[in-house]
Every structure is written in C-alpha cells, then in structure tokens.
Amino acid sequence: WGQRFGHDETDVLGQLHAAAGRHERISQDDLRGIADEFRRPVAAVTGSAGFYADFTGPRGARHVRVCAGTSCFVSSGGSPTAAAEAALGVRAGQASADGSVSLAEVRCLGCCHASPAALDGDTPVTGPGLGEKLRGDGHPASSGAAVPFHVASRTAVALAGLTEVEGSWQVWPRVVSTGIPASVRAEVALAGLRGRGGAEFPVADKWRAASRGPAPRFVVANGDEGDPGSFCDRLLMESDPARVLEGLAIAGFAIGANRGVVFVRSEYPLAVVRMREAVETARAAGHFGLGVHGSPFDFDVEVVQGAGSYVAGEETALLHAVQGFRGSVRPRPPYPTESGLGGHPTAVNNVETLAAVPWVLRHGGAAYAQLGSGVETGTKLVCLSQRFRRPGVYEVEFGVPLRYLVEALGGGLEDGYRLRALQVGGPLGGFLSPDDLDVPLLAEALADAGVALGHGSLVAVDDRITAPELLRHVWRFADAESCGACTPCRVGTRRGRELAERFPTGSEQVLSQHENLLDVMGVGSLCAFGRSVPGAVRSLLRVYRDELCSGAR
C-alpha cells in the first residue's frame, strides 16, 4: 500500500470474485494462484475465501441472490426466501443438480423501498410477484429499483447534485489549488459535521488525528451500507457518485492523503459500476492525478468491491477487507487514524458523511451548523421501507420527530395494515412501539428511548408478523453476521438463536437464560455489533412484552 500510486490494483477480493464466477466453487488452483500473485500464504487466501458469503456457497450458471433483510422479511409475511425457492426449484444456499441455477440468501440488497427483492445476476427484481418475475424468461429489469428521493429540510445538503441545486466538482478545484488543510478541517469543525454511519464521531477530530501521523496516509469511503433497511448510500453512489468522490478528495487534502479507496458492498453492483465510472470521469477532468489543478497535491482513488459481510462495515474490519483479508474486527486502539491500511494513518468516513462535505466547503461551516438541532447539525437521509404508503429516502434535519417521518412523510401504512412496531437503525438498532414515536431524530433521545439511530432506516413492521417470528429474525441475522472474532458474540448469537427458536413456548427459564446471555454479550463483546444485540432484543421484548412473555407468567 502506498507504493503503487497512479493505477488501479487488482485486489485480492477482486481476484476471488473472478474465480468464484469461473466455477461452481473456487478451486484450490485458483487459491494457490492468488496466493502466489499477492505473495501471501495459501492459508490466508483460503481464510478470506471462506469468510465472505459471496465465496462460500455454490455458484450455478444463473446465480440469484434473494434478500432476507427486515423489509423483505416483513413484506413477504415472514418468509423472504420462499417465493424465490419455489420459482427456481432450489433451496437458498444450494445449486441445482445440473448446475444451471443457484440461490443465495443475503441481507440486504438495499431495495427496502420496493420489497421483496432479489438480484438475478446483477439485475434487480423487486416488488409483489417476485416468484413469477424470477420464473419468467424476461422479467422487467430493475423493476421498482429506482429509489424515490424527497427533500424535507430547509435545504438539500447531502444530495444537492441529485436535486440539481448545484453540480459536483464545484469546490474541489478551489480547495486544492488555494486551500490550506488546517483551514478545511476548521471549516468542517465549525459545521459540527459528525459521522453518519452510526457512530456520530466528529469528522474534523478524525481528520486531525489522521493528519498527525507520518505519510503515506489514506482516506477511505465506507460504502458498505449493511444495515438492512438502509439504502441511502446506495442512492448516493448510484445517483451522485461524483459528490462522494469530491468529498473524499477534500478529506484526502485535509489530512494529506494522496490515495483514496471507495469500498462498495457487492450487493450493490450498480453502485460499483457508477463509482468506477465516476473515478474515470474525475481522472479525465483532471480532478485526480499528479499535481491536481496545478497544485503540488497528487491524488487518486481506487474502488474495491466487497464480498458479502455485514461486519465488514465496521472500520477495522473494512480495512482488513480492503486489503483482501478476512473482514474480522480488531481491538482498538490503535485506531485506524494511527494504524490503518498497511499500518499507515487512515481516515474512514461513511459515504453519506463525505457527500455533505462539498456543501460545507461551498456554503461555510456556519451555514451548515444552522441546520439540525444542538450538536447534531445538518441533515440526515432517512430511509422509509416498502410498508409505508410513500417509501423512499427523505433528507430531513436532525431533530424532527419520528412521528413526522412516519405519518406526514411516509403517510403511514396502506389501508388494512396496522403499524405494530417501528424498527430504527437496522436489526441492531431496535424497535419502538407506535405509541413512542414522538421521540426526535437525535442520537441521545433515541438512546433514551432504547434504540439507536444507526444509519437512519425506519422499517415498518405490520401486524401480520408475530413477535416470535421477529425475534427469530433478529437472532438469525445476528448469528449469520457475527464475524466470530470474540467468544461472547460468536457463541452468544448462536445460543440466542437457539433460545429464540423456543418461543412462543416461553418459560421463566428461557427468559432468564435469555437475559443472562444478553448481559454477557453486552459487556464482553469486542465491537459494537455484539454490544448492540442486547439493546435490540430487549427493545423487542418491551414492544411485544405480552406476546413474548405470556408463557412465562
């Protein structure tokens, strides 16, 4: 890393993707060839191949990925894979005997506004009648996959390009040719911009920390939007990739990084294409390269495609994934700002965070800070799922009540359905009762209400879904996506799944075992994934108390 400036690298995950596409399973010869090329032990490459979902299942000539994320789970009445399995005649995780078709279950495809959803090859297939569409020879490509976008704040910040208020690459030439890195960081600090991926860490503080380390330094755009229910990063990368790249370039300048990486999850194939096209366009326009816009600053960007791992969105796991290793979390410190890619200082920022940066530099940090509420300045992209009358991505200011999003913007649920629970921030964010929606869209207020904002998704759960089904869904997600690096989470998620299978015949013993398990995971897990499971499960037990706990009385 840092030695090969100026041209795209063929990365390890890219090679594994290519190998996975050649055979039903990646061969030993492929693994040895990749290990030789990258001068790594075969065991290391085999470990990567065995870690990522994209490389572990069988691959038929036609490969379909069906979404089992929460929105698809709800819209399918709790059986997200059944229609695809029936249509293709093959179970999820298997290939047909003749190798003509294979089916994989994924979480999630970021089509939560148009659930249920599948990817047939790289073609999205969405909406009611999913099975018939997959069965038919010529299903309408991309049916319903375009994301409705609405601005409901005083001004559009993150998606200015989409709304055609102003185009991209308006700020970068001025910043790189006449700006000063410390002044750029100061403007972002004045804006109060915080990370939008869920942690809400102040962006300027992260940049300052990374800028203090020795060169080479790196900036990484985290496009591994894994929270089922969230699809705003997909929207940004597909519809306004130049804005994300402009934000990444400014971040690079602010910390003195000459190399940027955009890590895009493989469940978003169109986003991978759009980001790569945007990089080429930026190079051709002189926004990247040696001596950008006549300045002494060199900058270039590489796009790396992920391979199917929720935990790879965590920044230490993501940095492992970018380098082609298993996407396992590692303890911090050292933080990536001290030791990231190849051991060099690296700032990792979420795609939505970076998309706001050009606006901040163009209009000033003070203008940005006037939006939002208190320390949570600016706007947030909130995703409303398919069960709402008006699903889509909404740009709102921090501080608006959830009830405004659910009722005024989303329009509530369709006639005949009743909102039973609202999932906030993905399966690990938690659930709220319809009676508790007056809480504002602010991290602290949401935490007080027992949920986490996460990446800003709101998934409506209607009353067709039973509490035990939802509990099993959460535990299955946790069990499937735990990276296995620490025992409380690796064993705890498996045990939780087993306990969830025993509901609704709940007993005092099952409930108390459940509580003990949540306590251990909450204090002993290495990263936010394992530590978030207890809050999410407890929120579910609160909202569905009568249904889940009746057997224990």
Task: Tell me the H-state helices in 23-97.
Answer: 28-38, 42-51, 53-56, 70-75, 82-88
Cα–Cα dist 161/168, whole Å = 6
Pairing of strands 259-264, 101-106: unpaired
Closest approach, Cβ 528 to ligand SF4, in A, equals 7
Phi/psi-derived region of residue 169, left when phi > 0, alpha when psi is between -120 and 50, beta in every other case: left
Q: How far is the CB of 524 from ligand SF4 (least distance, A)?
A: 9
Q: How far apart are CB 112 and ligand SF4 at their closest, in Å? A: 22
Q: Which is nearer to ligand SF4, 484 or 504 (CB)?
A: 484
Residue number with the shortest CB distance to ligand SF4? 530
Closest approach of Cβ 323 to ligand SF4, in Å?
17
The nearest distance, CB 320 to ligand SF4, in angstroms, is: 11
For ligand SF4, the closer of residues 405 and 485 by Cβ is: 485
Q: Among residues 134 and 520, whose Cβ is nearest to ligand SF4? A: 520
| 3 state DSSP class of 259 | strand
Where is 249: in which H helix or E strand? helix 241-255
Q: In whole angstroms, what separates CA 379 from the centre of its chain?
A: 18
CB closer to ligand SF4 out of 311 and 371:
311
Q: Point out which residues bind ligand SF4 (CB under 6 A).
A: 311, 329, 482-486, 489-490, 525-527, 529-530
Smaller CB distance to ligand SF4: residue 153 or 482? 482
Under 8 Å between Cβ of 275 and 235 = no
Residue 11 CB, nearest approach to ligand SF4 (Å): 23
Nearer Cβ to ligand SF4 (240/479): 479
Nearest approach in angstroms of CB 131 to ligand SF4 is 33
Nearer to ligand SF4, 271 or 489 (CB): 489
**Residue 395, H or E segment:** strand 392-397
As measured in angstroms, the least distance from the Cβ of 434 to ligand SF4 is 31
**Which residues pair with residue 222 across a beta bridge?**
263, 350
* DSSP structure string for 263-308: EE-TT-HHHHHHHHHHHHHHHHTTSSBSSGGGSS--BEEEEEE--S
What are residue 123's DSSP bridge partners? 120
DSSP strand pairing (457-462 vs 379-384): parallel
Output 503 or 529, the one with its CB closest to ligand SF4: 529
**Which tokens go with 112?**
């939560």
